[in-house]
Chain A
Amino acid sequence: MDLRIKKTGVLLRCICFLLILSILLSWLTWNLQEHCLVDISETGFFHQPRQSIDILYVGSSHAYAAIKPSQIEDRTGLHGYTLAASDMAAKTMYYFLKAALRRQSPRYVVLEVYSFSIYNTEWTPEDINITANLSDLPAMDRIRYAWDELVSGKKDWIYALFPIAFFHENWEKFDHFGSITRSVDHGWYPFGDGEHLSEPDALLQQDLMNFDGPVHPEVEIYFERIFRMLREKDITVILLATPYLLVDRELPVYRRILSFTEENDIPFLNLTDNDLLKELQFKRENMFDSQHVTSSGAEVVSEIISDFFIHNIL
C-alpha cells in the first residue's frame, strides 16, 4: 500500500513538473520571440494602435515585397499595413486575419492571391507548415491552430505551441533577427534593386498553356472560411495578384478566383497579366526575381493599387 502511494506520488510529481515545464516553455518562447523579432517589435503589426488601420494587406512574400502602405496612404489617405509572411498559405492567411481582426477593424482587406495558389506550384501542404511563418504570428490563435493541426494528423501542432522547436536554430547567432527588417514601412519589406535575373523577362512574355487541374481541397476550405469571416465583419475585400511568373499549374486557382470574384462582385487586380504589365510600362528592372518585385517595382505596384482605390473604391 505504501509503495503504491509512493509510486502515485512520484507519478503526480512528474505530471506536475511536466505541466509547469510546458507552460513555462510555451510562455517563454513566445515572449522571447516577441522581443527577438523586429517584425513584432514597435514597428510590427501587433504593436500598432488598436483600430488604427483602414486597409489591411495580407499575403505571402509577394505581398510584403510589393505593397508599400505609406505610398498608398499618401495618395488615398487610407492608413494601411501589410501583414505578410513568407510562404503564407490560405490556412495561415485565415489565422493571420482572425488574429488581426481582433485588434483592428479595417474597412478594406486586400488579399494577395499567391497564398491560394501556393499548393499548385511546387509546394504541398506538407512542405508549407506553420514553421515558415511563426516569426510573424505572435498573436495568432495558436491553440486553435495547434488543435486543427493535431486533428488533421500533422505534427505542426507542436511547433505552434512550442515554436522553440523551430526557432532555436535561428538563435544560433542570437541577434540574427536584428538583420531582418521585415517591417521597414508598415509591413513593407523592400527586396532591393534587383538581381536582374533572366526570369523577369519571361514574366513579360509568359505564354501559359491552358492547364486544367484541381484546386487543393485545403485551399477551398480556407478560401470559403476567409470570405465568410470578412463578410460577417462587413469588410470590403479586394483580391490582388502582384507581378510574378505564373506556372501552368496555378491556372485552375486563377480560374476559380476569377469565377468567384465575378459571381460575388469582388474586385480582382491581376498584375500577372502580361498585357496589363506592358501597358503599365512595367520593366524587367522592376523585378527582383521571378517571384518578387524590387523597391522600384513596389512603387509601381503601390501606384497601381492607389489608382485602383481612387477610381473604383473610394
Chain B
Amino acid sequence: MSLLSAGFIGFVLFSLAVYYSIFPKRFQWVWLLICSLVFYSFSGLDGLLILVFSIVTSYFGVKLISKAQSHGIRKAFLIITISVQVVLLVSFKLVNYYVSLFSRFLQLPGDGRFQLFRIAAPLGMSYYSLQIIGYAVDVYRRQIVPENSLLRYSLFVSYFPQITQGPIVRFTQMREQLFAEHTFQYKNVTHGAQLALWGMFKKMVIADRMGIAVSAIFDNPLCGSRSLFAGILFSVQLFADFSGCMDIVGGCSEMFGILLPQNFNSPFSALSIKDFWRRWHISLSLWLKDYIYIPLGGSRCSRSRKYLNLLITFLVSGFWHGGTLGYLVWGLIHGIYQIVEDFFSRCFQQFICDAKLDQSSKGFKLMQKGCTLILVSFAWIFFRGNGLSAAINMVKLIFTDFNFVLFIRNIYHVDLSPTYTWFLLVATAVMFSVESLHQKTSIRDLLDRQPLPVRWSVYLTGILVVLLMGKYGIDGTAMFRYASY
C-alpha cells in the first residue's frame, strides 16, 4: 500500500479512530501491532512471512545474547543473530543482481536474466534489518535491557508508519513512546496532518514533477553542463522525495502520539561533506557510525586505518543502498571525499589564515555550501545514473564538454513546459524557504498562533496545491526512491 494512496489515508484514519476510541489505553500498542502487520501484509504474504521470521529469530537470538554469561558465547550468538539478518538481506536484495552480473560476464545463456530467488526483496527489509542488528548489538553491549515480550518487540520492528523507509530507530528511542498510553490530543492530529501534507507537497508536487525533467536529462545528457545540472536537480528531487516521505511517515506517527527522530536537517546548508552526512539521512549515518565505523576503530587509530574505516563505512552504505556498481562507486566517492577533506583540512585552515579570509562571512559560507552541493551532486550521478557506463559517460562530458552559460540556461530547459518550469521553481523556492525558516523558528507554533481563518486558508491552499499540481492518478505517483533500498 503506497503511503500516497487514498487507501493509506483511509487506513490511517480508521486506525486512529479505533486507537483513540475503542482500544483500552493499556492495549493501544496491540492495536498498533495489528495495524502494522495488516499494513505489511498488503505488500504480500511472502514478505510478511520473512518479516515474522526475522522478528522471531532475532528475538530469540537477542534473548540468548542477554542470558549468556561468557563473553565468547554472547559474541557467538551476536554473530549468528546478525548473520541471519545479513544473509536474508543479501539474499533477497543482492544475490539476483550479482548472479545476473556474473552470468552476463561469463556469457551464460539467459542474457543475464537468471534469478536465484523468485521473490522480490520484502518491503522495508533494509530498514528493519538494520534496526534489528542495532538492537542486537545494543543488547550485546549491555546498553539496553532486551524486551521480554515477543509481541512488543514485534511492534518495535514492524511499526507501520516507519517500516517501509525508516527512519532507522533505536529501541531506546521508541520503547517509552510505543507502549505508553496515549490520549487523543487535537494538536497531535493537526500537527501530524500538517507534517504529512507538507511531505505530500514535497513528494508529489516537487519530487515527482522534477523527476520528469531529471529522467529526461539522465536519458539524454548531451553535454557536461546538462550532466552536472542533472546531478543538482537530482539532489533536489531526492531530497524532496525522501524528506517528503519522512514527513508523511513522521506526521502519521505523530497522530498516534509517537514522535519519530528527524532524518534530515537542511542538508543543502551543509558546509562540508562531513557536515552533509550529519544532515542527510541522519538515522542511517548514525547507524553506520555506531555499528560499522566505531567498531572498526573509528578515528581513534592511525590516520591510514581511519581512512580505511571511512572507506569501508561508505562502501557498506553503497552496498546497503543496492550493491550495484553505481551505488558502490557512489559510496567510494563519498569515502574519498571524506578522506580528502580530512587530509587537507589543516592545509585549508592554514590557507584561510594566510589569505585572511573571514570564515564567518556569508560569502564564504555560500561558497562552502555551493562546493558541497556540487560535490554531492557529482556523486549522485553514479547513484541515479542509468547504469555505471551511462554515469561514466556523464562524468566524461562534465570534464570534456562543460559550458557555464549552457549550465545556467538549462534552468529554463528542463523538459517541462515554461509554465510548469516556473511553477516548479516557485515550489522549490517555497520548500527551501520553509525548511530554512524551520531552522529558525517552529512553523507549527507560528501557525498555531494564527486565527482560524488564516490557519484554514493555509491548510486549504496546501491541499489544493497538492491535489491540483501533484502527480498522481492515472500514471500513478512515482514510487518513493528510498522504498527500493
Contacts and interface: CB of A to CB of B under 8 A. Distances in A.
B485 interface: no
Nearest to A16: B456
Interface string A143-186: 00000000000000000000011101101111110000000000
Interface in A1-43: 6, 10, 17, 20-21, 24-25, 28-29, 32
Given A166-B473, A169-B474, A175 B460 contact: no
Contacts of A176: 417
A175 B417 contact: yes
B354 interface: no
Contact of A169 (B186, B417, B475): B475
A174 B420 contact: yes
Contacts of A171: 468-469
Contacts of A32: 468
Contacts of B463: 21
Contacts of B417: 173-176
A172 B419 contact: no
A214 to B, nearest CB: 32
B456 A17 contact: yes
Nearest to A28: B464
A29 B468 contact: yes
A33 to B, nearest CB: 11
Contacts of B456: 17, 20
Contact of B464 (A10, A24, A173, A175): A24
A281 to B, nearest CB: 43
Contacts of B418: 175
A175 B417 CA distance: 7
Contacts of A169: 471, 473-475
B443 interface: no
A299 to B, nearest CB: 34
B89 to A, nearest CB: 36
Interface in B418-475: 418-420, 423, 456, 459-460, 463-464, 467-475
Nearest to B421: A174
B416 interface: yes
A168 B423 contact: no
A25 B420 contact: no
Nearest to B419: A174
B16 to A, nearest CB: 12
B357 interface: no
A21 B471 contact: no
Contacts of A20: 456, 460
B186 A10 contact: yes
A175 B419 contact: yes
B212 interface: yes
Contact of B467 (A25, A173, A174): A25
Interface in A69-99: none
B448 to A, nearest CB: 15
Contacts of B468: 28-29, 32, 164, 168, 171
Q: Counting chain A CB atoms within 10 Å of each CB, which of B186, B456, B460, B468 scores highest? A: B468
Contacts of B209: 172
A168 B417 CA distance: 15
B473 A168 contact: yes
A173 B418 CA distance: 9
Interface string A101-135: 00000000000000000000000000000000000
Contact of A166 (B423, B469, B470, B474): B474
A173 B420 contact: yes
Contacts of A166: 473-474
B473 A172 contact: no
Nearest to B463: A21
A192 B326 CA distance: 47
A168 B212 contact: no
Contacts of A10: 186
A29 B469 CA distance: 11
Contacts of B467: 25, 164, 168
A118 B459 CA distance: 44
7 contacts: A6-B186, A20-B460, A21-B460, A168-B472, A169-B474, A172-B475, A174-B423
Interface of A: 6, 10, 17, 20-21, 24-25, 28-29, 32, 164-166, 168-169, 171-176
Given A25-B467, A169-B474, 10 more contacts: A17-B460, A21-B463, A166-B473, A168-B470, A168-B473, A169-B471, A171-B468, A172-B209, A175-B417, A175-B420
- Kindly list the 10 A-B residue pairs having the minimum CB-CB distance in the complex, ordered from nearest: A174-B419, A174-B420, A169-B474, A173-B417, A175-B417, A169-B473, A175-B419, A174-B417, A169-B475, A168-B473
Interface of B: 186, 209, 212, 416-420, 423, 456, 459-460, 463-464, 467-475
